[in-house]
Amino acid sequence: MDNSNLIGSSHERSQTYGVPISRKYPENRLSENDFEVRLKENDELLSHASYIILQLYKTVAGSGFFINVTDAQGCILTIKGDEEVMRGAEKLQMVEGAYMNEASIGTNSMGLAIHERKPVQVTAQEHFISAYHNWTCSAAPIMLDDQVIGCINMTGHADLVHSHTLGMVISAAHAIENRISQQKVLQKLETSNQFAFAMMNNLAFGVMAINISDEVEWVNDTACRLINIRRTDLLSKDVNSLMTDWRRIKRIILNELKFIDEHTSFNIPEINEQFLFNAYVIRGENSAMHGYLLTFRPFSRIVDLIRKYQNHHTRFSFDNIVAESPSMRQLVENAQQVATKPSTILLSGESGTGKEVLAQSIHNASLRKDGPFIALNCGAIASTLIESELFGYEEGAFTGAKKGGAPGKFELANHGTLFLDEVGDMPLDMQVKLLRCIQEGYVTRVGGKKDMRVDVRIIAASNKNLQLEIEKENFRLDLYYRLNVINLHVPALRDRKADIMHMARFFAAQKAEKMGKPMPFIDSRVSLFLENYSWPGNVRELENMMERFVVLDGNMDSLLNQNNTASEQMPIAAVQNTNQSFTPQTLAEIEKNAIISCLKTYDFNISKAAKVLNISRNTLYLKIKKYNISLG
């Protein structure tokens, strides 16, 4: 997403407001009494947002982020996050009651999202004040009736920036909007049935009205579609015949307890979908009970959110693959050709060659790129657990099973890609069950009875010779043919020498940036060693070696001794420059020198330099302008 124009306009407004770049704290902050008044004014927003914030935080806890909600003017109403990042926010007085609009603190995601009425991500130097240059912020406005009523934001350290963070915030904002909308639907239902019926027929969730005799009085169109029954067949039907759990649900709400977002299912043979239910008592004047209201939506929608929040996404595309060697160019060309096809793919190659990177790239180039990418290492899971990992389990299926059960990898990967790494290590009994699932397109949870249809593309990978494993009777021939529709072989690093130096420079620059160190110079002797080393650990070993190379400030002799290689036969030393003495530098000087070095290495090609430095082109241009670096 190119925010350069939005950022530039916001910086101009910040200057107009008189915000100094050196400002550390928000200029405006409410007193304790005024803040209590503001909370009451936004009680409805907070009542719905608090649950979403809690659920979102459960999925990102420990990842270095905090989440906050503001009102329409940018005043922080509530904030929750990891202890370390919360301490950093408190030091900058980014706390409840503080205003985060542009007039108070300059360009930031919250103020910009509210001003532009659209989601936005602001990272590092895109912030106006210097104090925020270490942060990345992703915010989305919360809309109601086409008006901004608030904003939800996720903030963390700048090195955690990722587009999926903005996607999570957008989903959370929509979830809050939907909860507010649902509540208003229920309020309008009490005052105008006719108006409510017309409106509820267009809702995204099913609605069912039940009388005090447990008979269905009314259902909306969505409910009929979700359970595939005509309205005429549902009206006057005993709800107990549709739901074996109805008596328990009714008992809960009649005792004035909440039944919100509970996971259960219909007792309808043709319906395999699980649903999340809300149930309410319908009361009229003088609190007279008229019946019950049941709303439900497919559990798969919640699974979609879970897999997004639980890191079930991809980081790599074909643009991230170094393919200068003929073998890699051919591999990438073949992979791009089959990516858009639905066929199952088997990736072969030694351990550490980057098979998952290729699998993620294929997924991101496929028609399923907006769906989940779920990875499972078949060799890293105990044989007693792999079935529940793949297919999920029902409550009570085994000792320690979670209440409500849990979806398996196939369910989480529905409408996306399932990557089965080290598939050659899968136990034979599980191979039979996997084959059945691939053939029939259904999964049955451990301890369950219902078959659930799944739409999943399989990409499998193995570092073993599966044909040899078949001869040893360790792998099923029929499963091999099911998986080996398209075979792509990832060459070992020693067979793609033209790629080694490109990858070495990339890893060295990446590690140096993360450590806040200058990238050591890679001289011709180092290059000679890297290109002629056998690389038994392949790309993974190269990455680790370049990390040690950076840690040791380019002392390749020490590096080779640690790596148990013949350093005495090939003395190698890499130095950052001809002057071995240490000269203290500021972080800004280190960053400027790193950018200049990288630009010269890649002949001032902005795209390549930005990729190696692991920043966007826009961020690189901003840094070039900041440090007054000449481009030739």
pLDDT of residue 603: 77
Q: Which helix (H) or strand (E) is 288 found in, with range?
A: none
- pLDDT value, residue 261: 80
The C-alpha atoms of residue 152 and residue 57 are separated, in whole angstroms, by: 12
* pLDDT, position 573: 34
Alpha helices in 419-475 (DSSP H): 428-440, 466-471
- Can you give the three-state secondary structure of 125-159, one letter per residue? HHCCCHHHCCEEEEEEEEEECCEEEEEEEEEEEHH
Laid out side by side, the sheet with 456-462 consists of 373-377, 416-421, 456-462, 345-348, 486-489
Q: Cβ(563)–Cβ(536) under 8 Å?
A: no
- Judge whether 392 and 407 are in contact, CB under 8 Å: yes
Which pLDDT score, from 0 to 100, does residue 41 have?
A: 93
Phi, psi dihedral angles at 559 (to 5 degrees): -60, -45
DSSP state of 304: H
Residue 223 CB coordination number (10 Å): 24
Q: Determine how many CB atoms are found less than 10 A away from the CB of residue 221.
A: 14
Give the Cα separation of 206 and 296 in Å (integer): 5
In the chain, the domains with their CATH numbers are 4-186 (3.30.450.40), 192-303 (3.30.450.20), 312-491 (3.40.50.300), 496-626 (1.10.8.60)
- To the nearest 10°, report the CA torsion of 401, 405, 410, 411: -160
Helix (H/G/I), strand (E/B), else coil: 462: strand
Other Cβ atoms less than 10 A from the Cβ of 460: the count is 28
What pLDDT is attached to residue 581? Answer: 43
Give the model's pLDDT for residue 576. Answer: 38
Closest Cα partner for 556 from 548, 311, 228, 343? Answer: 548
Residues 440, 441, 445, 451, Cα dihedral to 10°: -70
pLDDT of res. 571:
34
According to the model, what pLDDT value does residue 371 have? 86
- Helix, strand, coil: what percent of the chain each, to 5? 45, 20, 35
Split the chain (632 residues) into runs of 10 and give each run's mean pLDDT: 83 94 93 94 92 90 92 94 91 94 94 94 94 94 93 92 89 92 76 67 87 91 88 90 89 88 81 84 86 87 59 77 91 94 93 92 92 88 84 75 76 90 91 91 83 90 93 93 94 92 91 88 85 90 90 71 42 36 65 83 81 80 86 71
What does the pLDDT read at residue 625? Answer: 85
